[in-house]
Chains A and B, each alone.
Chain A
Amino acid sequence: MIALSLAWRQLRSHWASGAVRVLLLALVLAVAATTAVGFFTDRIQSALVRQGGLLLGGDLVVSADHALPQKYELEARRLKLQSTSTLAFPSMIAQGKLSQLAEIKAVNAGFPLRGQLTISTQADANQVASAGSTANTIPAPGTVWMEPRLANLLAVKVGDSVEVGERKMQVAAILQREPSRGGDMFSIAPRLLMNAVDVPSTQLIQFGSRVKYQLLIASDAKAIQDYAAWAKPQLARGERVEDVRSARPEMKSALEKAQQFLGLSAMVGVILAMVAMFLASLPYVQTSLDTYALMRCFGASKRLIVRILMYQTLLLALLGSVVGCLLGFAAQAGLAALAGRLFLEALPSPGWMPALSGMAAGFATMLAVVWPHLLRLRDVPALRILRRDLGDLHTAGWLSFLPAVIVMAGMVFWHAGDFKIGSVTLLAFFALLLMAGALTYAGSKLLQKMSKAGHGAWNNGAWSLGLAGLKRRPGMTIAQVIGFSFGLMALILLALVRGDLLSSWQASLPPDAPNRFIINIQPAQIVGVKVFYTQAGISKTEVFPMVRGRLVALNNRPLDTKKYQDEGVRRLAEREFNLSQIAQMQTDNQLLAGRWWRTDEYGKPMLSLEQGVAKSLGIKLGDRLTYDIAGTRLTLTVTSLRKVEWDTMRVNFFAVTPPGVLDAFPASFISSFHLPLGHEDKLNQLIRRFPNLTVIDVAALMEQVRGIMNKMSHAVEYVFGFSLLAGIAVLYAALVATRDERVREATLLRVLGAKRRQVVAAVLTEFFCIGLLAAIVATVAASALAYYISVRVLNIPYQFNYSLALLALLGASLLVPLAAWFGVRGFLNQTPRQLLQSI
């Protein structure tokens, strides 16, 4: 108890000293950043599952190309899960002389289990864009709801009748939004929604009809997991279980990128906080020397000292972690508010895991960063009471930094969620340390040489004293430059991220990004489509050939799809690929391996594969793939692997060849373009002219992705606020680290007759040099990091920000000495006698 009581008293009293406050603040920031992002991403992940549910219409879908066996529904009922069933099939819908292929979905009561249908009863489908209401029911028997495009194509209004198979049914509403409209975009024709009870009377489903039967399930995550675990082994041929992972990949990609950003922001905050904690622990240890020397003098054993220190560390960790967790919890609410209606439903409540992780991170950080240095107090000699020069603990062995390095690495990898990014960040951190050390050493040597070589202004007392300070405390000077560098780097990076990176990310989906795809364009129709583009004033268009081929052999051996354990991969191998031929690699593609073809290689059997497909199917560079294209075999050699940014919403292909390779095969074409608002009429005219064309409208989806980008950008900036605070904490800790020593020196100088002005000039000189060196290191490091994030993570071009670099150099050279002067100003205003009494 004595140890705990002393530890508590020490801690309470040390609160008055700035070092402990900075230490605690840094710990609070580290934990808060960790928990805020943890809570937020936890909520986002839960929301993603639900969002996936919205995209599917339920949390889980069992689908089949045949009527689903009853067992699936019975089990759902037994487990008291919500369920409803649907069936979907393509069919022609007619109105008068007009007819159009539609994707009919027949639904039962309760559909959708997740999300809501939005309908409009406005007569004219062209006017429904802004008006709409949530439908709490499904189409009544004998009525249908249809998408505006279908209504336009059939020239029907609400109240008109259409022929659905053998039935005449009334159009009761225009279907504006159907949450479950997603998944396989390229198979969708305009939607017609009807009540399932009407299906038999339409006589549309006959033997051999292509019908997709679905059982939608909804419940809490655990029940869904249990149901999925039960259902998967039951699946027969043609049956499958779909969950969030199979829901829209572009949304998932955008959110994953946002989470990566959040992780990076939190990571920068945590690293900075750890640096601040280390710097703050130095004066904390230094000011504790006398206390522990006195305790040793009064008979305290080393064991007792260790216990007191351990209790202090744990108390600090507990206090910092609890406050950090609370702050993190409050901050995540802010993040959630910023994310706003990112999802169709409110974000779910966070779980407790992030709080536990935050507490663990707080304790680990404190024990790893501060404890090894505090532990050195155990060895303070009692004789220090009589001889103050004994026991100064300026230098620590490298080994004492090892726990901090291990914990930092753990935190970095945890937040990065990616081995490569984590490794690069750690490498950048150590590179920064080395660079700061080397630059400081070289810089201080250079300045001292200049001082020695120069005369006059260079050689006046104040300059020499200031420069001598750099030499006198080489270890602390390097520590301070590193501290200032990290603090400044955070500020520069924040400015870069706010100004450049986030807008670049958002710019990856510009307002005029393609929002419509036309597929099934026949070669003879290309001219007509191009005329439409010209008439509609659409300039940025892309038209690609599409040849469907099935992969039948790999390296001349027939492809055995059974060898793929994963059902998804097996389906991928069995399905037909859309092959295309492209001269130049698209800008949203990145070459990962191999090389792109030259013009003299056009027509050669080369293939460029998307890396995900290649990885899933186990295909390597140099492999020979044989495709069956309409009965003809074509063997191609994989000459490059590409990464594709799917969230750019542009046309992209898993497999592409050089121009000329696919010329001999029957091809249809695909085109994408941005259709400005209000030009739907022209598009409808095109469709009427070429009824075989299928137009896919991704505008709503793009809005969702763009919404995620905007809102998550705010969230990232918000999390970077923690980094900003941590950066300021580092700057402050770096200043406080040597303040006592500096005050002692200043006092001595004043006593020895130095004028106040000379002492001020010496302090300003020393910190000008430190600030300048730190600004150089910080600018180089922040730019390198920004370059990495731009080029490697975001795939956007990087431009060095000269004005920001100049601002950093000027700012640091002015503000760091000024801040240092503020720190010791109070002491310099006192008389030498007062000063002597105060130290």
Chain B
Amino acid sequence: MRTPLAVEVVKLNKHVSSSDTLLTILHDLDLVVTHGETLAIVGSSGSGKSTLLGLLAGLDSPSSGKVLINGDDIGELDEDGRAAVRGKSMGFVFQSFQLLPSLTALENVMLPLQLAGCKDANTLAQAALVRVGLGQRLSHYPRQLSGGEQQRVAIARAFAPKPAILFADEPTGNLDAVTGQSIIELLFTLNAEVGTTLILVTHDLALAERCQRVLRLRDGQLQVEGLSEEFTTT
């Protein structure tokens, strides 16, 4: 029996209606991502990168087609079902960090652990923050942290539950070059440590090249940008 793929996308379409016309963002898109793979999706602004990420993570519903996560079609699930899949096997890092300003760094990292019903949320969150170098900033609120520190908290939050798949949306987009570089290092180091499947959306080619595979989203389709020998795409 074949081991299910981390992510499998079959004939994915996404249309949105804009005044009188129907706009096609993704068109018959197919994709497979194996466990532990690092994949970068690049493309110009408005190419649909974030839309694709939203569909892969079950944040949005496709117009047609299938998205299978670990072999399960998330299209067949209702919103709560998709949320459960996200809570069980996905982590997220966003361009704008998406930390809750009302929670401390520790509480922010604890949030997905608590939502998953983890009893050791506090211990695990502390460990994650120590791992990203913020052991001394546990009780700091986001507004008391620099942009780089905030993104470290976000990375700690993403890795703390040890997700099978990590979605990162322009993780360095809001950071200066030096900070961005250190964040990339941290992201890839942790990814290697945890063995997470990483799907990265970026327009930064330097960042994308750190991934095993790079796909470009153009005209609603994925095209090979960079390819290691064992991965292919249709």
Q: How many residues of B contact A (CB 8 A)?
A: 29
Residue from B60, B85, B94 within 8 A of A383 (CB atoms): B60
Closest CB of chain B to A303's CB: distance in Å?
A: 7
B102 & A299 in contact (Cβ 8 Å cutoff) = no
Residue from B90, B92, B114 within 8 A of A385 (CB atoms): B92
- B115: Cβ under 8 A from any A Cβ: yes
- B47: Cβ under 8 A from any A Cβ: no
Residue from B83, B103, B169 within 8 A of A382 (CB atoms): B83
Closest CB of chain B to A153's CB: distance in Å?
A: 82
- A301: Cβ under 8 A from any B Cβ: yes
Residue from B86, B98, B111, B117 within 8 A of A290 (CB atoms): B98
A300 to B57, CA, bound (A): 14
A17 & B112 in contact (Cβ 8 Å cutoff) = no
- Determine the residue in chain A with the shortest Cβ distance to B158: A298
A381 to B58, CA, bound (A): 11
- A302: Cβ under 8 A from any B Cβ: yes
Chain B residues whose C-beta falls within 8 Å of the C-beta of A303 in the assembled complex: 80
- Determine the residue in chain B with the shortest Cβ distance to A296: B83
Map CB proximity to A onto B88-112 as digits: 1 under 8 Å, 0 otherwise: 1010101000101011000100011
Residue from A5, A291, A301 within 8 A of B83 (CB atoms): A301
Residue from B50, B79, B94, B103 within 8 A of A9 (CB atoms): B103
B84 & A381 in contact (Cβ 8 Å cutoff) = no
A510 to B53, CA, bound (A): 80
Residue from B79, B92, B94, B115 within 8 A of A302 (CB atoms): B79
Known: A301-B83, A302-B80, A386-B50. A295 touches B103 (CB 8 A): no
- B145: Cβ under 8 A from any A Cβ: no
A295 to B108, CA, bound (A): 11
Chain B residues whose C-beta falls within 8 Å of the C-beta of A300 in the assembled complex: 83, 87, 115
A386 & B86 in contact (Cβ 8 Å cutoff) = no
Question: Could you say which of A2, A291, A382 has the most chain B C-beta atoms within 10 Å of its C-beta?
Answer: A382
B86 & A297 in contact (Cβ 8 Å cutoff) = yes
B114 & A299 in contact (Cβ 8 Å cutoff) = no
Known: A299-B88, A301-B80, A386-B54. A13 touches B114 (CB 8 A): no
A152 to B94, CA, bound (A): 98
Chain A residues whose C-beta falls within 8 Å of the C-beta of B84 in the assembled complex: 299, 301
Known: A9-B103, A290-B100, A298-B115. A385 touches B59 (CB 8 A): yes
Known: A303-B80, A383-B54, A386-B169. A297 touches B114 (CB 8 A): no
Closest CB of chain B to A270's CB: distance in Å?
A: 30
- Determine the residue in chain A with the shortest Cβ distance to B117: A2
- A235: Cβ under 8 A from any B Cβ: no
Chain B residues whose C-beta falls within 8 Å of the C-beta of A17 in the assembled complex: 102
Map CB proximity to A onto B183-217 as digits: 1 under 8 Å, 0 otherwise: 00000000000000000000000000000000000
- A14: Cβ under 8 A from any B Cβ: yes
Map CB proximity to B onto A361-387 as digits: 1 under 8 Å, 0 otherwise: 000000000000000000001110111
Chain A residues whose C-beta falls within 8 Å of the C-beta of B169 in the assembled complex: 386
- Determine the residue in chain A with the shortest Cβ distance to B55: A383
Closest CB of chain B to A125's CB: distance in Å?
A: 77
Residue from A6, A13, A16, A385 within 8 A of B98 (CB atoms): A385
Map CB proximity to B onto A286-314 as digits: 1 under 8 Å, 0 otherwise: 00001100111111111110000000000
- B116: Cβ under 8 A from any A Cβ: yes
A297 to B54, CA, bound (A): 10
Chain A residues whose C-beta falls within 8 Å of the C-beta of B100 in the assembled complex: 13, 290-291, 294
Chain B residues whose C-beta falls within 8 Å of the C-beta of A14 in the assembled complex: 102
A295 & B115 in contact (Cβ 8 Å cutoff) = yes
Q: Which residues 335-389 in A have Cβ within 8 Å of B in the complex?
A: 381-383, 385-387
Closest CB of chain A to B200's CB: distance in Å?
A: 14
Chain B residues whose C-beta falls within 8 Å of the C-beta of A5 in the assembled complex: 114
Chain A residues whose C-beta falls within 8 Å of the C-beta of B103 in the assembled complex: 9, 13
A10 to B79, CA, bound (A): 23
Chain A residues whose C-beta falls within 8 Å of the C-beta of B107 in the assembled complex: 9
A5 to B122, CA, bound (A): 13
A385 to B84, CA, bound (A): 17
A262 to B148, CA, bound (A): 59
A13 to B87, CA, bound (A): 23
A5 to B80, CA, bound (A): 21
A290 to B94, CA, bound (A): 13
Closest CB of chain A to B21's CB: distance in Å?
A: 19
A383 & B102 in contact (Cβ 8 Å cutoff) = no
Chain A residues whose C-beta falls within 8 Å of the C-beta of B59 in the assembled complex: 297, 381-383, 385-386
Question: Could you say which of A13, A290, A294 has the most chain B C-beta atoms within 10 Å of its C-beta?
Answer: A294
A799 to B84, CA, bound (A): 66
Chain B residues whose C-beta falls within 8 Å of the C-beta of A2 in the assembled complex: 114-115, 117
- Determine the residue in chain B with the shortest Cβ distance to A299: B87
Q: Which residues 50-93 in B have Cβ within 8 Å of A in the complex?
A: 50, 53-54, 57, 59-60, 79-80, 83-88, 90, 92
- Determine the residue in chain B with the shortest Cβ distance to A5: B114
Chain A residues whose C-beta falls within 8 Å of the C-beta of B111 in the assembled complex: 6, 294-295, 298
Q: Which residues 105-138 in B have Cβ within 8 Å of A in the complex?
A: 107, 111-112, 114-117
A294 to B84, CA, bound (A): 13
Chain B residues whose C-beta falls within 8 Å of the C-beta of A298 in the assembled complex: 86-87, 92, 111-112, 115
A16 to B101, CA, bound (A): 10
Q: Which residues 18-52 in B have Cβ within 8 Å of A in the complex?
A: 50
Closest CB of chain A to B161's CB: distance in Å?
A: 9
Residue from A290, A291, A299, A385 within 8 A of B115 (CB atoms): A299
Chain B residues whose C-beta falls within 8 Å of the C-beta of A294 in the assembled complex: 98, 100, 111
Chain A residues whose C-beta falls within 8 Å of the C-beta of B85 in the assembled complex: 299
Closest CB of chain A to B192's CB: distance in Å?
A: 23
Chain B residues whose C-beta falls within 8 Å of the C-beta of A382 in the assembled complex: 59, 83, 86
Q: Which residues 532-583 in A have Cβ within 8 Å of B in the complex?
A: none
A10 to B83, CA, bound (A): 20
Question: Could you say which of B50, B87, B117 has the most chain A C-beta atoms within 10 Å of its C-beta?
Answer: B87
B60 & A299 in contact (Cβ 8 Å cutoff) = no
Known: A302-B80, A387-B50. A297 touches B92 (CB 8 A): yes
- Determine the residue in chain A with the shortest Cβ distance to B121: A2
- Determine the residue in chain A with the shortest Cβ distance to B85: A299
Residue from B53, B60, B102, B115 within 8 A of A304 (CB atoms): B115
Question: Could you say which of B60, B92, B114 has the most chain A C-beta atoms within 10 Å of its C-beta?
Answer: B114
A294 to B57, CA, bound (A): 13
A385 to B83, CA, bound (A): 13
Chain A residues whose C-beta falls within 8 Å of the C-beta of B102 in the assembled complex: 10, 13-14, 16-17, 291
Question: Could you say which of A14, A294, A298, A300 has the most chain B C-beta atoms within 10 Å of its C-beta?
Answer: A298
A2 to B122, CA, bound (A): 13
A14 to B86, CA, bound (A): 26
A386 to B25, CA, bound (A): 16
Closest CB of chain B to A810's CB: distance in Å?
A: 40
Question: Could you say which of A5, A16, A299 has the most chain B C-beta atoms within 10 Å of its C-beta?
Answer: A299
Question: Could you say which of B85, B107, B111 has the most chain A C-beta atoms within 10 Å of its C-beta?
Answer: B111
A6 & B114 in contact (Cβ 8 Å cutoff) = yes
A9 to B110, CA, bound (A): 12
- Determine the residue in chain B with the shortest Cβ distance to A293: B98
Chain B residues whose C-beta falls within 8 Å of the C-beta of A291 in the assembled complex: 100, 102
- Determine the residue in chain B with the shortest Cβ distance to A390: B60
- Determine the residue in chain A with the shortest Cβ distance to B100: A291
Chain A residues whose C-beta falls within 8 Å of the C-beta of B115 in the assembled complex: 2, 295, 298-300, 304
Binding site for A on B (CB under 8 A): 50, 53-54, 57, 59-60, 79-80, 83-88, 90, 92, 94, 98, 100, 102-103, 107, 111-112, 114-117, 169
Please give me the 10 A-B residue pairs with the lowest Cβ-Cβ distance, nearest first: A299-B87, A13-B102, A298-B112, A383-B59, A301-B80, A382-B59, A299-B86, A383-B60, A299-B83, A300-B115
Binding site for B on A (CB under 8 A): 2, 5-6, 9-10, 13-14, 16-17, 290-291, 294-304, 381-383, 385-387
Known: A298-B111, A300-B87, A381-B60. 4 other contacts (CB 8 A): A6-B111, A297-B59, A298-B86, A302-B79
* Pairs across A and B, CB under 8 Å, 15 listed: A9-B107, A10-B102, A13-B102, A16-B102, A290-B100, A294-B100, A295-B115, A298-B92, A300-B83, A300-B115, A303-B80, A304-B115, A382-B59, A382-B83, A387-B54
